[in-house]
Chain A
Amino acid sequence: MISNENLEELVERHMGFIIRTISRVTGKYVSVEHDDAFSIALSAFAEAVERFQPERGKFLSFARLVMRSRLLTYLEQERKRADVVSLDEMYESGKDLAEPASEEQEALRDEIHLFHYELSLFHLTFEDLAEASPKHSDTRERAVDIAEQSSQHPPIVSKTYQKKKLPVRDVAHHCGVTEKIVKGSKQFILATMLIFVKKFPMLLHWIRKGRCRDV
């Protein structure tokens, strides 16, 4: 019998495999939290680890079979449960079939709306950020640091809101970097600075990889 530590290590090592298997079976993204399919898949993976016999083939193939079986069984049960009530009648009555969002998720949605509004003040959209986000992790981390430092400097913040654009020279001088570095990630730095300035907690927590300093 495999120990829990070893099982966690195995799961972490094969997380991508597990997520891919779930997505292909369910046709949906795997939620980070409160995902029944994910739970079922994890238990199936553990079962596969227990029952695997090396002489019968490869482990991942066997684990995929077990996980698919369990997930398909779960989906069948969910479908049968949904068939009890007429879906057409519920659509016509305007009832929302989606599960009610949790408070945390509602709060996150509100933050996203506010963040979108702040960006619009500077004529930015999420699409712009998708184009302007630094692809390299080091560059991105440095840009986040620059945004955080700039957000803590009131003159830069006021000048940013006054001119509706990032004061590149002031930011570079304050953060001790070259203007070229700031210009290269100008929009990303501005957007991230807005998150710090407005103190969106969940987004802050998110971009700091779970670490929140001032919230």
Chain B
Amino acid sequence: MYRKVIILEVKEQYALAMDEGGEVIRIRNRDGLNMGDRVYVLPEDLYVVEAVRVEKTGKNSGNKGKEGRSGSGSSRRNSWARIAGMAAVLILCITLLFPQIPDTTVFAQVSFDGDSSIQLALDPDSKILHASSPDQSVDADALTALEGRTLSDVTGDLMRLCGTGSLMIGYVPLEDAQSSASMISEIQKLFGTQSTVILIGRPEDLSLAAKNSKSLGRFLMDRYDAGEVLKTLQQKMQELPTWMIDQADENPVREEAMSSIANRNSREEVLSASGAGKNGFTEESGSPVYGAEDDDEDDGAEADDDYDYDDDREDDEDDDDWEDDDDDRDDVPPVRPQTQSSGSSASRPVTQSKPQMQTGTSSQKPSSGNGSTGSAVTGSSGSSSASSGSGTVSRPVYHDDDDDDDDWDDDDDDD
């Protein structure tokens, strides 16, 4: 309640006093207070300082401590206030010095290869999170200008940078593969009637492409051309039941294709065999060899006629896989790239294009525009087929192929 103290030192606003236990306290200064006085003090007489700065003094020097500015605060509270202030400043500095961490994860990686190579990291809303040029063909300022904008906003810039000619697009979904169908469809619509090839890869392809200093699209195309996919196809064929292989062997086109697989390992050889140019595009139509580039609106029958042996082979085998053994669905070969040719039928859905090969794991789906790994889709303007590819394994790829149907029919008859 009350304490007896000895006044040790009298300052302007307070005095230092020692109580009977030896504790030194500060009390409010009042008239008539002198050093050595022994007085009673009450709790309300204690002097609480907001900030007291005591300067260390040298020897034989008086106390030069600075008095508190007011008696309403608490030294401990002031310490906490200082700590809180310093923490706030530190947080502010960190926020200003370091770039803000984006709150969205990368949904997909897309590369555009034409006159230049550009690779974009997209969020689920097709917003460009990061832009790069693997071959350094685009300057940093132009890349920076793309970031933060949506794909639709930068279409003009992409056309300007990559050219208005044939465009190779590489796509790797990093999130929900099923949701990628809509993004692929959006990408396809971006370039209107411009000739494009969309190659769909796997997440691990990103690191491999970066390791080889290639854009995603070029890496996927090179891998495809290197025969890796064809070799996988050959391996898968060997795993087929004997009766299926025997039936397939009866197909002369397929036989020729198999021999080509065995003998031809270079892209140029394959292309030359098909009569296509080195760039993979037919000189006449400007469409790539593998694409369903035709103007045909109905089915893929006429388009099939323009295709190489690979198409027939794939028709047979893929159909077999799909039709007879759903369990083997995941083991089908990778999807072939298909193109969007100028003037291609807007009504031709992607899923109705030529059979598509798949690479890799059993979890893959056929390319129905759903971003299945290792698959490729065509970009057909106005097509919403990519979005129709919901990631489910379906037969639409083969439905429009009369030849395939015929084969099935034949097979059924044989059964």
Q: Do A206 and B18 touch across chains, with their CB atoms under 8 A apart?
A: yes
Q: Please tell me if B176 contacts chain A, counting CB pairs below 8 Å.
A: no
- Size range of the chain A interface in the assembly: 35 or more
Q: Do B24 and A130 touch across chains, with their CB atoms under 8 A apart?
A: yes
Take A29-B39, A128-B54 as given contacts and tell me if A188 and B22 are in contact as well, using a CB distance cutoff of 8 Å.
Answer: yes
Take A27-B31, A126-B16 as given contacts and tell me if A140 and B23 are in contact as well, using a CB distance cutoff of 8 Å.
Answer: yes
> Residue-by-residue, is B59-73 near A (CB-CB < 8 Å gives 1, otherwise 0)?
111010100000000
> Residue-by-residue, is B26-47 near A (CB-CB < 8 Å gives 1, otherwise 0)?
1100111111111111101100
CB-defined contacts of B6 to chain A, threshold 8 Å: 108, 112, 203, 206
CA distance A166 to B41 in the complex (A): 32
CB-defined contacts of B65 to chain A, threshold 8 Å: 125, 127
Q: Please tell me if A160 contacts chain B, counting CB pairs below 8 Å.
A: no
Q: Please tell me if B301 contacts chain A, counting CB pairs below 8 Å.
A: no
> Residue-by-residue, is A106-144 near B (CB-CB < 8 Å gives 1, otherwise 0)?
101100100111001101011111110111010011011
Q: Do B34 and A112 touch across chains, with their CB atoms under 8 A apart?
A: no
Take A19-B42, A30-B39, A192-B22 as given contacts and tell me if A120 and B54 are in contact as well, using a CB distance cutoff of 8 Å.
Answer: no
CB-defined contacts of A1 to chain B, threshold 8 Å: none
CA distance A133 to B31 in the complex (A): 26
Least CB distance from B73 to A in Å reads 15
* A202 to B, closest residue via Cβ: B6
Q: Please tell me if A152 contacts chain B, counting CB pairs below 8 Å.
A: no
Q: Please tell me if A57 contacts chain B, counting CB pairs below 8 Å.
A: no
Least CB distance from A101 to B in Å reads 7
Least CB distance from A163 to B in Å reads 15
> Residue-by-residue, is A156-169 near B (CB-CB < 8 Å gives 1, otherwise 0)?
00000000000000
Contact of B57 among A112, A123, A140 (CB under 8 A): A123
CB-defined contacts of B34 to chain A, threshold 8 Å: 98, 101
Q: Do B38 and A127 touch across chains, with their CB atoms under 8 A apart?
A: no
CA distance A12 to B400 in the complex (A): 109
Q: Do B42 and A20 touch across chains, with their CB atoms under 8 A apart?
A: yes
CB-defined contacts of A101 to chain B, threshold 8 Å: 34, 36
CB-defined contacts of A16 to chain B, threshold 8 Å: 1-2, 42
CA distance A211 to B2 in the complex (A): 20
Q: Please tell me if B211 contacts chain A, counting CB pairs below 8 Å.
A: no
CB-defined contacts of B27 to chain A, threshold 8 Å: 29
For the complex with contacts A121-B59, A129-B24, 15 further pairs of A-B residues with Cβ separation under 8 Å are A20-B42, A28-B30, A28-B31, A29-B41, A31-B37, A101-B34, A115-B8, A116-B9, A125-B65, A128-B54, A131-B75, A133-B25, A192-B22, A203-B6, A206-B22
Chain B residues within 8 Å of A, Cβ to Cβ: 1-2, 4, 6, 8-9, 16, 18, 20-27, 30-42, 44-45, 52, 54, 56-61, 63, 65, 75
Chain A residues within 8 Å of B, Cβ to Cβ: 15-16, 19-20, 23, 27-33, 98, 101, 105-106, 108-109, 112, 115-117, 120-121, 123, 125-131, 133-135, 137, 140-141, 143-144, 188, 192, 203, 206-207, 209-210
> Would you give 20 A-B contacts (Cβ < 8 Å), ordered by A?
A15-B2, A20-B42, A23-B42, A28-B32, A29-B32, A29-B40, A30-B39, A30-B40, A32-B4, A108-B36, A109-B35, A112-B6, A120-B60, A123-B56, A125-B54, A126-B63, A128-B54, A133-B24, A143-B22, A203-B6
